[in-house]
Structure 1
């Protein structure tokens, strides 16, 4: 039993004096509908649409267990992050909390690693979007499409936080509607209620008809975990954005408590439909992608082009949020004296212009690396940032262990969201994440990601420790601003 029996409840948040003010330079330009859609869309990345085929090929229908296990891990991490973010909304989120709970070196290290992760993602997503757009309009070269996409979304982020929120509202809305429609239509086909689909080959029987539920053995579940874990990255964005919302505590409380049904419906629901419509070993899954293959079975015309539109939307959403997230992390690091001072300044619209431009410049450089040296320099960037998501989740866990005590001593009334069964589930989550990292070392592709990510993380931590010794300074305490 937890030492705090009420920690399974979400208390009524104390009244706020108004929207997150511009005391730190940022403005509360995000509305509740923006935050709600960012929270929902944040768990639906392009990886779900384009990466699920490899997971199905590796684990068969058992990939559902892989998604369920990783989803459970994410739910627990988000609950921990929600506890801290609801008590102290901050544009630096877990980096600011790690700064406070674990030490300045921790906030510096995880903040810069997270920034690095997202600026590399900018290059990946810009290139992915350019490939789709070039397929539609080949007269424009791929590099030009990547440039156009980056420039447009940079302009969106520079305009105001409200413009970012509005774009993300519609991007996320399209993803949500698309995946919901897929689940509904696919579900009707699975149960034989949709005219035109091949009812003889679809149905729940596909879950066991092709070698059983675990055709490649129980160990394939772990392989599936490695293939799907990174498609969940982005759930934490809502806690960064909450600091610029009208009612940050309410937004964080809602987002972190609804993550269970979001993952359950969008991930488990849609994958269940795919492996019910098709046998897991159907060659069309690998050839066309899992969702396109499923749409073909249902009898939806032009399934490939429809999915391209949805994937492009997911890519643009990821780009939009990635640039926002990287810039806000750079802004927070600057506020704490861990990044150039210019990154901490905002313009008359409350936008950290230098932080946005600094992040997008690195993104442009990474795009260039992708075209010039895709198999060397850019591959190194990809692998060296590949395990950062897991590092972030680990830091959130260890930070929450310390922050709970700090909050209970200093601001118990701010604990409007509490981690379940504290500290037992926190330690269980740490064990789960650590196991995934260790298991990655046994996988050829995963090994490179873990080793290179650890090397980069070690370098950043070393820089942080050297800075601490040479220039000991006071840490800005986000709780002092409550």
Structure 2
């Protein structure tokens, strides 16, 4: 299904400055394409970008990445962080010019091929249903630490119902909850940083100062370059969610606040991810038995560090903190996944039923379907949390690289179409840095990472993990041709690309 014909500038589906200013007297500014409600305030979108997606991955799943060594953790987080920042430069161009929330699918349909936009949209959905499953997995495992008498599936199903009901309350309630939960997460991480510095410096009674001793004993890398490559897939999954401004744009009261929201991502990368990599590697050796334990539940490096410092009861505090991050991350994952489905349905790349919204502007069928995929977490019952996490993260990692590379590709195609139609680049709401070099670099790096991320499974060859790492690449190609045949789509010619529908003017 192709997009509708381009409209004249007067009929553009956008939110002009006048409408934004009039929002003070009107509680909602409906989106003409999706009937979503613009209820997210700048502080909501800012904190969503800064800490809304910080969840059990960075706090618990990082234990599996740390097993590769502290240097691999730092390099992996730094390299993927640079790639994420490059991608965000392209993303801000797209969402500032088209703040309709459909960047991943809609713009692909408009400037590349509707089938291509469908593939990218579905890959983005896969990222967040896999992340969602891991979040349910972690939450249930942590609750069993306190209440082992309740079966794992019992906790998962209770949370499943609770989060489903919460999502139906509307995006305004979601945004306010995320603002406060994100604030708590930032405070908690900052507290861990202070603890780590005190612990490393010998400030805890009975514990000598050891600094970065674990970088020498047992060492910085567990398996050389292989360790660094193995960390890429974890890091990409942990960084997924940096793109949330693109989804939240459709429900933002003021798209003009989006540049500052995206700039917060740089702060997030430096302060949170690089900081976490440094302090995890400094306080926990990669050969710690707890990291390598083959148990039903994953252990957070934070909990391990506090126990090593001699405070066994501190694990309860860390678990409570992680539960808070899980609540926030699950909410955000359902939000992103459901809105992605809505835009896919709006472009004819998913069943039309998924774009149905209730009076609060919530796409409830899309919410139900997204949350249903969270039940993949039940595989934890038979495989154990560590194995379940590995299976799921391998799939989501390559999906992130596909999406990020495609965002850079969209940026290039958009600017080429803009020039092909004789338009002046100075008329763009936002042009981005160092075009075209930065998006070309971003596209190249993501292709490279998508191909190399399963390299550690070649020697010795691990067929199951290798297939898990690369299955999305052939799947995406097959899906592209299926959507192309079913919807009879055509590759969009640059001079015919629809650059007016949904464009923000103001």
Q: Could you say whether these structures have the same fold, taking a TM-score greater than 0.5 normalized by the shorter chain as the test?
A: yes
What are the residue-to-residue correspondences of 1:45-444 with 2, within 5 Å?
45-192=55-202, 194-196=203-205, 198-200=207-209, 202-207=210-215, 209-210=216-217, 213-214=220-221, 216-250=223-257, 252-283=258-289, 285-286=291-292, 288-300=299-311, 302-364=313-375, 366-367=376-377, 384-407=395-418, 410=423, 412=425, 415-444=428-457
CA distance in 1, matches of 2:371, 2:88: 27
Query: Are 1:451 and 2:470 matched, yes or no?
Result: yes
CA distance in 2, matches of 1:215, 1:112: 35
The answer to whether the 8 A contact 1:16-1:247 is kept is: no
CA distance in 2, matches of 1:236, 1:321: 12
- Once the two structures are TM-superposed, the CA of residue 44 in structure 1 deviates from its matched residue by 2.3
The answer to whether the 8 A contact 1:26-1:351 is kept is: yes
* RMSD between aligned residues: 3.3
CA distance in 2, matches of 1:186, 1:93: 40
Measured at CA, do residues 410 and 369 of structure 1 come closer, stay the same or move farther in structure 2, by a change above 3 Å? farther
CA distance in 1, matches of 2:213, 2:391: 43
What are the residue-to-residue correspondences of 1:1-12 with 2, within 5 Å?
none
Measured at CA, do residues 321 and 15 of structure 1 come closer, stay the same or move farther in structure 2, by a change above 3 Å? same
The answer to whether the 8 A contact 1:42-1:235 is kept is: no
Partner of 2:10: none
Measured at CA, do residues 480 and 278 of structure 1 come closer, stay the same or move farther in structure 2, by a change above 3 Å? closer
Partner of 1:21: 29
The answer to whether the 8 A contact 1:210-1:280 is kept is: no
CA distance in 2, matches of 1:414, 1:152: 46
1:408-460 superposed Cα distances (whole Å, 9 cap, x missing partner): 65584664444332222222222222222222342226622343112321232
Measured at CA, do residues 330 and 411 of structure 1 come closer, stay the same or move farther in structure 2, by a change above 3 Å? farther
Structure 1: segments with no counterpart, 5+ residues: 1-12
- Once the two structures are TM-superposed, the CA of residue 160 in structure 1 deviates from its matched residue by 0.6
CA distance in 1, matches of 2:390, 2:311: 37
The answer to whether the 8 A contact 1:134-1:140 is kept is: yes
- Once the two structures are TM-superposed, the CA of residue 258 in structure 1 deviates from its matched residue by 2.2
1:333-363 superposed Cα distances (whole Å, 9 cap, x missing partner): 2222222222223222222222222323344
CA distance in 1, matches of 2:288, 2:384: 31
Measured at CA, do residues 128 and 56 of structure 1 come closer, stay the same or move farther in structure 2, by a change above 3 Å? closer
- Once the two structures are TM-superposed, the CA of residue 15 in structure 1 deviates from its matched residue by 4.5
Partner of 2:12: none
TM-score, normalized by length of structure 1?
0.85
CA distance in 2, matches of 1:42, 1:335: 26
1:158-183 superposed Cα distances (whole Å, 9 cap, x missing partner): 11111221232233222211111111
Structure 2: segments with no counterpart, 5+ residues: 1-14, 294-298
- Once the two structures are TM-superposed, the CA of residue 262 in structure 1 deviates from its matched residue by 1.1
Give aligned pairs, total: 465
Measured at CA, do residues 278 and 108 of structure 1 come closer, stay the same or move farther in structure 2, by a change above 3 Å? closer
Measured at CA, do residues 422 and 199 of structure 1 come closer, stay the same or move farther in structure 2, by a change above 3 Å? farther
The answer to whether the 8 A contact 1:45-1:232 is kept is: no
